[in-house]
Amino acid sequence: MENIVSKIDSTEKLQNPKFIKPILINYTQDGVAKKWEAVISHDSVAVLLYHEQKNAFILVKQLRATVLNKNKTNGMMYELCAGIIDKDTTNAQIVKEEILEECGYDVPIENLEKISSFYTSVGISGTHQTLYYATCRDSMKVNDGGGLEEEEIEVIYIPLEEARIFMFDESYQKTTGVMMSFYWFFDKKLKK
């Protein structure tokens, strides 16, 4: 993918949100009435993909406008393949669909291993994410990935021998899920 320059043109108040809903939470803590501004958003799934023949993790790289808005110069993020839970099916089925859509691999559901689940963005939304692991091979590759038509997702391979350095190299903007899942892999899969 070529080097695309991105910038924020403007921001405005969201009138009819499609994926999130800003709310004011009124609650009581130790008998004291309090308020907290929050956003209701979809829970999600993510997957650490390990390509056996390439001996590499598969990540996706995409522009995140929120990050670009925050640091003004670079919104490109290295992330796990992931998606929101917005349909009536199993989390594993959503992961399978996201892998095919974003990375181009047709990974059988039985190849998915649940790592854990946890809360993210707890100060603003408290969304719940379930994290999976799966291996894949060249024979599972059915398309180039890249996401939906409106998405511009680049599939990235991080060789295993470079992954520990990648984790802490701040020049690569990444999510905590990437770092956590790499740690999990080194602790659980490489020690076997």
What pLDDT digit, counting tens, does each position of 151-173 carry? Answer: 889 999 999 999 999 999 999 99
> Binning pLDDT at 50, 70 and 90, where does residue 192 land?
low
Q: Please report the pLDDT score of residue 89 as a whole number.
A: 97
Domains and CATH numbers, the chain: 41-189 (3.90.79.10)
Question: Is the pLDDT score of 8 beyond 90?
Answer: no
d(CA 133, CA 82): 12
pLDDT at site 148:
81
Confidence of residue 119 (pLDDT cuts 50, 70, 90): very high
Q: Is the pLDDT of residue 19 over 90?
A: no
Looking at the predicted structure, is the pLDDT value of residue 2 above 60?
no
DSSP letters for 99-157: IIIII-B---GGG-EEEEEEEE-TTTT-EEEEEEEEEE-GGGB-S----STT---EEEE
pLDDT attached to residue 4:
67
Whole-model pTM: value is: 0.89
Q: Is residue 81 pLDDT above 80, yes or no? A: yes
